[in-house]
Structure 1
Amino acid sequence: MLLLLIFSLLLQLTHADPRLCVDNGPKLTASDFTLKEKDNTHLAGLAKTLASAKATVSEVLDSANRDIITGPVPGEPSEEWLWDNGDYNTTKWIPQGISSSGDALAVGTYEGRNVWLVSWYQDEGDKNVRISFIDRETHKYRHVLLVEPTADDDFKSVPIHAGGIAWYGNALYVVDTDNGFRVFDMDNIFEVDIADGVGKNGDGWSANTYRFVLPQIRSYSWSDLQPDSAFRHSWVALDRLDSPDTMLVGEYQPDDAKVPIRLVKYPLDYTTRRLRNTGGVVTATWAYCVNVLRMQGGFSRNDTFYLGRSNGDTNGGDLFTWSPGETNVPMSFFPPGNEDMSYNEAKGEWYTITEHADQRYILAYKEEIN
């Protein structure tokens, strides 16, 4: 009897959460979704300590030491690229998120370069995240390690899944699944020693043999404001057609999920590259429930949403075209393992990547998206 009473109370509490998808419909109250902004207090000091080691995006690209190669890919993308052999088939690192210089700046280039960024999480050994800086003109790339400043002269690795990324000006937004966003400062890339270990290393600094590190500048936390309400920050995409610009974040849930699947938009300030906030609290401008299991990525334009669903390592992925209040319309579209997605307004094209070893592609599409 006591267990039944406890279950009943928990059920009431669950249904009382206004952020859940329940009988009152798929549209949610956007103001119920909030994040708390927090700046990293050590980045300014670290930037002074490593001032002589600062590097630009162009310098990272010019130092690129690997090549993407074109090759046959299932489906009909307008461009298809494979990683070099070591990255194409490794099981140690798994690619997840994609963004481009078309997200970073409306002109479509950054420092005059046409760039893709791709996030990878480390699945074997230590937990780290790296970002591939890809020059789309030379077809060369280099990996850069994400780090979090822990002192004015030290940093540590970032142990998250990095399921989606969005580049906005000098800020790289990376989803942190259970927590919200971490944001990294593209104005403070540092060159470090090629050595083992992450952080201060004797008289220098290293990053597990990576030549460059990209430090965290701030975070946006879900749990600081709503610790009893779960939200999976699985992927993210920039929408430049909203006014103001927004970050769209979506949830991945597996087949057996008995929990909500939601899309939420947060407003951006293009002058500061932060999420718009009042007193450090960011409030969503739009929130909706959507019934798409295994949703790995998406983007929105003019109130239409393009959502990717993965179907394992042997079946191709689906693309859903959906508008609020309408029925989802899926079509088989992607190779197996499709992940994060990104739209480039300047070039009128959009991107995804695939995650499985030996089926690992960077894909561009020019299908008409109104």
Structure 2
Amino acid sequence: MNSADHVSFDGLHAAEYPIQKGVHAVGIVWYGNYLYVADTRGGLRVFDMRFILDLDLDPDADPATHDRMGTDTDGVKTTANVEDKTKVGRHDNVWYSFGYRYVMPQVAAWKFKATQSNPKGSCACVSTGAPKASYISLDRSTGPDRLLMGEYCRPESGYPSTGRIASYPVAALEGRSADVTAEGRANYLPLANGGAQGAAAYNGTLYVNESKGTDEPGNLWRYRWNDGRLVQHGQAVKTARGAEDLYVERGTGRLWSLSEHRPGSDDDCKLNPGPGDREGTDYCQRVLFAHELSWLDSRP
């Protein structure tokens, strides 16, 4: 219901300002009927793939006509507006959808029980309390299947944490009836400068993407477990600038990732081409790429 007690819907909101004014979705896993979305300070949001709604607010395919939607459940006749992409839901008897046709409702959320003490507006982290949910992946390397989730941290004075990583059994998350305890992979990442933006596990190896921003290529690290601790396995493999989440495509033996930076998104990515230069620079283009796992595992 909206503030006028009309049947409606609304966009998702979260307190991320000044880093993000809305929900900061930083990773997605589709498992069974559910889509799990990591929300930096909010934990996990859960969406049901079986309930994707076709709003069809523009049945005549002419955005300018503002089609009639008929009589709503409260007896009021409503219209639609798909031109205004700043609103969602029902406002003054007009339906909006941010300009989109389809909506998928959030059906649940997982919140950390501990207090979120990480400072807002900063990438620094404390070593206690609720972690940030900065990236997730599906871990099928051991049974039962788990969601692997970690936090992005940049250590600074008073905030030494390099980031924590943990796993949660998907079956327990699907139950949504009791607390779910982090298990199996609860650890601090052994990254001197932090910066982990993605992790995935396969055949006993934990792969972690370390972003170095736009300044230089990132690092792809490999770790093994030894007496409950993460131990570095081999040297870092250079990867894309701003490398983020990781995904194991088991059927092909590939480890997929993507980079976040784009021209104009950061000071180092401003478009200032000189005479004869093409617009932009290579390292400021977003890319989707994959590593062969067999090649990665053969690196020294």
TM-score (norm. length: structure 1) = 0.53
User: Does structure 2 conserve the Cα–Cα contact (< 8 Å) formed by 1:251 and 1:295?
Assistant: yes
Query: What is the alpha-carbon distance in structure 1 between the residues aligned to residue 36 and residue 110 of structure 2?
Result: 10
Q: Distance in 2 between matches of 1:180 and 1:332?
A: 30
Q: Kindly report which structure 2 residues correspond to 1:151-170, keeping only aligned pairs within 5 A, or say none.
A: 153-158=8-13, 159-170=22-33
Aligned to 2:224: 323
Match of 2:202 among 301, 307, 325: 301
Structure 2 counterpart of 1:121: none
> Aligned equivalents of 1:214 and 1:329: distance in 2?
42
Task: Say if 2:115 is the partner of 1:227.
Answer: yes
* 1:264 and 2:154 are equivalent in the alignment: no
Query: How many residues are aligned here?
Result: 216
Kept after mapping to 1: 8 A contact 2:219/2:236: yes
Amino acid at match of 2:167: K
Q: Residue 154 and residue 348 in structure 1: after superposition, are their counterparts in 2 closer, same or farther (change >3 A)?
A: same
Q: Contact 1:277–1:283 (CA<8 Å) still a contact in 2?
A: no
- Residues 261-292 of structure 1, C-alpha deviation per residue, up to 9 Å, x if partnerless? 221010012xxxx6165842112222122222
Query: Which residue pairs with 1:337 in the alignment?
Result: 242
1:180 paired to 2:56: no
Aligned-pair CA distance for 1:251: 1.4
1:354 corresponds to 2:237: no
Contact 2:155 2:161 in 1 (8 A): no
Cα pair distance change 1:154/1:341, threshold 3 Å: same
Task: Check 1:278–1:300 CA distance in 2 against 1; reply closer, same or farther (3 A cut).
Answer: same
After superposition, residues 203-222 of structure 1 pair within 5 angstroms as 205-222=95-112
1:328 Cα deviation after fit: 5.4
Q: Distance in 1 between matches of 2:10 and 2:138?
A: 28
- Shift, 1:201, TM fit: 4.6
Matches within 5 A, 1:280-295: 280-286=178-184, 287-292=186-191, 293-295=194-196
| Structure having the larger proportion of residues in strand | 1
Task: Give the letter for the 1:314 counterpart.
Answer: D
**Partners of 2:176 and 2:100 in 1: CA distance:** 38
Q: Distance in 2 between matches of 1:263 and 1:357?
A: 27
Instruction: Say if 1:276 and 1:282, in contact at 8 Å, map to a contact too.
Output: no
Of 225-234 and 210-219, deviating more is 225-234
Q: 1:306 to 1:181 in 2, by over 3 A?
A: same
- After TM superposition, give the deviation of residue 204 of structure 1 in Å: 5.9
Within 1, Cα distance between the matches of 2:190 and 2:7? 46
Normalised by the length of structure 2, the TM-score is 0.65
Q: Distance in 1 between matches of 2:165 and 2:173?
A: 17
Secondary structure at the aligned position of 1:351 is classed as: strand
The match for 2:144 is: 244
Are the structure 2 counterparts of residues 334 and 237 from structure 1 closer, same or farther at C-alpha, using a change threshold of 3 Å?
A: same
Per the TM alignment, residue 155 of structure 1 is displaced from its structure 2 partner at its CA by 2.5
Q: Larger Cα Rg: Structure 1 or Structure 2?
A: 2
Please name the residue that 1:27 is paired with: none
Counterpart CA distance in 2 for 1:151 and 1:185 is 24
CA contact (8 A) 2:206 2:224 kept: yes
Deviation readout 1:2-37 (Å, 9 max, x if unpaired):
xxxxxxxxxxxxxxxxxxxxxxxxxxxxxxxxxxxx
Instruction: Give the aligned partner of residue 311 of structure 1.
Output: 212
Amino acid at match of 1:258: P
Within 5 Å, give how 1:32-71 maps onto structure 2: none
Partners of 2:154 and 2:162 within 8 A in 1? no
Structure 2: distance between partners of 1:260 and 1:301? 22
SS, match of residue 265 in structure 1:
strand
Work out the CA distance in 1 between the residues paired with 2:45 and 2:146: 16
Q: Is there any run of 5+ residues in structure 2 with no aligned partner, and where?
A: 14-21, 58-81, 117-128, 264-284
User: Contact 1:177 / 1:233 at 8 angstroms: preserved in 2?
Assistant: yes
5+ long unaligned stretches in structure 1: 1-41, 43-149
Letter matched to residue 177 of structure 1 = T
Runs of 4+ in 1 over 6 A off after TM superposition: none
Cα deviation, residue 317, structure 1: 0.8
Give 1:221 shift. 0.5
Residue type of the alignment partner of 1:264 = A
Q: Distance in 2 between matches of 1:259 and 1:233?
A: 14
Contact 2:154 2:161 in 1 (8 A): no
The letter for the 2-side match of 1:211 is: R
| Equivalent position of 1:199 in the other structure | 89
Going from structure 1 to structure 2, the CA distance change for 1:262 and 1:189 (only over 3 Å counts) comes to same
Aligned-pair CA distance for 1:247:
0.4
Q: Which residue of 2 aligns with 1:91?
A: none
Distance change (3 Å), C-alpha of 1:260 and 1:362? closer
User: Which letter does structure 2 place at the counterpart of 1:268?
Assistant: V
Identity value in percent: 31
